[in-house]
């Protein structure tokens, strides 16, 4: 049985004060839900991690970062290590988000090193994979997913696999208001799970949580959550408001109960 996981990627939004307000608001709203059976993860910018950690400390809400560097420490100006994220209170970290692949030169190789660094420091990586519009139109979706999964997870064993979360995020649906249809998302999730089955065995693949990300909103979460291989959501824009994020969690909880 895979536990649903909903994570909010706050990207480069929210000052420390705003992040405290948002996390407090989310905590208050989610407290009203009677044990929704969902893992909730908030991923603020690095600057707000410690403060949000304090807000969520006495709750079931967990903290994640949006990236990390694979070295423990050293002369790497501007970078933040897994050890530092642990120290700030994180238990999750997003790795290989398409915005990092697109704007900051993230590759499967760097994703792979980052996953290993996260696992070595007991952080759960949320590994993002997904095709661009051009790749989808060229019917390369599965090829891209295979490339991201095979090379991103290179060298990981079955035990490692069971400690990660995968986020299928079609790049054309991120921040665009265009969501993949539930069928398109399910097709990609099923493909990823089958590929994991080939690489690690069916039993292990059946246990891996695969979130969908790409313009998830209160209006579309229920249909997405009804798909058999969708185990939650990585939410960008709609995680920046208490009401929309809480509504997404509530609707997901209704589907899984
Ligand atoms: C994301 O940032 O991972 C994301 C899916 O963003 P949005 O929900 O805004 O499309």
Q: What whole-number percentage of the chain has pLDDT above 70?
A: 100
Active-site annotation holder among 97, 99, 131, 189:
97
Query: Ligand 1 pocket, 99 CB below 6 A?
Result: no
Centre of ligand 1 from the C-alpha of residue 234, in Å: 7
**pLDDT attached to residue 177:** 80
As given in the structure block, the two tokens for residue 11 are: 């990207």
What does the pLDDT read at residue 51?
98
Q: Is 148 a catalytic residue?
A: no
> Does 18 participate in catalysis according to the annotation?
no
Total structural domains within the chain: 1
CATH number, position 42: 3.20.20.70
Q: Using alpha carbons only, what angle is made at residue 149 by residues 251 and 112, rounded to the nearest 5 degrees?
A: 110
Ligand 1, residue 9: give the atom nearest the CA.
Answer: 2
The model's pLDDT over 13-70, given as tens digits with 9 standing for 90+, comes to 999 999 999 999 999 999 888 777 999 999 999 999 999 999 999 899 999 999 999 9
Cβ of 233 below 6 Å from ligand 1: no
- Write a three-state SS string for the chain: CCCEEEEEECCCCCCHHHHHHHHHHHHHHHHCCCCCCEEEEEECCHHHHHHHHHHHCCCCCEEEECCCECCCCCCCCCCCEHHHHHHHCCCEEEECCHHHHHHCCCCHHHHHHHHHHHHHCCCEEEEEECCCHHHHHCCCHHHHHHHHHHHHCCCCCHHHHCCCEEEECCHHHCCCCCCCCHHHHHHHHHHHHHHHHHHHCHHHHCCCEEEEECCCCCCCHHHHHCCCCCCEEEECHHHCCHHHHHHHHHHHHHHHC
Q: Smallest Cα–Cα separation from 225: which of 253, 196, 190?
A: 253
Work out the pLDDT band at 110, boundaries 50, 70, 90: very high
Can you tell me the distance from the alpha carbon of 130 to that of 136, in angstroms, rounded to the nearest whole number? 10
pLDDT tens for 167-196 read 999 999 998 888 889 999 999 999 999 999
| Residue 154, number of CB atoms within 10 A of its CB | 13
Its domain, for residue 18, covers 4-256
**Mean pLDDT within 134-152:** 97
């Amino acid at each position: 049985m895979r536990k649903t996981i909903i994570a909010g990627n706050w990207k480069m939004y929210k000052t420390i004060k705003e992040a405290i307000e948002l996390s407090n608001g989310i905590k208050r709203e989610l407290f009203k839900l009677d044990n929704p059976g969902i893992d909730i993860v908030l991923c603020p910018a690095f600057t707000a991690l410690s403060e949000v950690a304090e807000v969520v400390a006495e709750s079931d809400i967990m903290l994640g970062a949006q990236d990390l560097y694979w070295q423990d420490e050293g002369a790497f100006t501007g970078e933040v290590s897994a050890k530092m994220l642990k120290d700030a209170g994180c238990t999750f970290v997003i790795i290989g988000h398409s915005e990092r692949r697109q704007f900051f030169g993230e590759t499967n190789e760097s994703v792979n090193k980052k996953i290993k660094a996260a696992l070595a420091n007991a952080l759960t990586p949320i590994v993002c994979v997904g095709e661009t519009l051009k790749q989808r139109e060229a019917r390369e979706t599965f090829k891209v997913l295979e490339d991201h999964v095979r090379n991103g997870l290179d060298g990981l064993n079955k035990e490692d696999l069971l400690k990660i979360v995968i986020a299928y995020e079609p790049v054309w649906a991120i921040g665009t208001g265009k969501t993949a249809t539930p069928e398109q998302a399910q097709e990609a999730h099923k493909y990823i799970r089958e590929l994991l089955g080939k690489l690690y065995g069916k039993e292990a693949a059946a246990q891996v949580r695969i979130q969908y990300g790409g313009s998830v909103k209160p209006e579309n979460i229920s249909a997405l959550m009804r798909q058999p291989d969708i185990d939650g959501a990585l939410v960008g824009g709609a995680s920046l408001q208490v009401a929309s994020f809480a509504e997404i969690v509530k609707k997901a909880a209704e589907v899984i109960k």
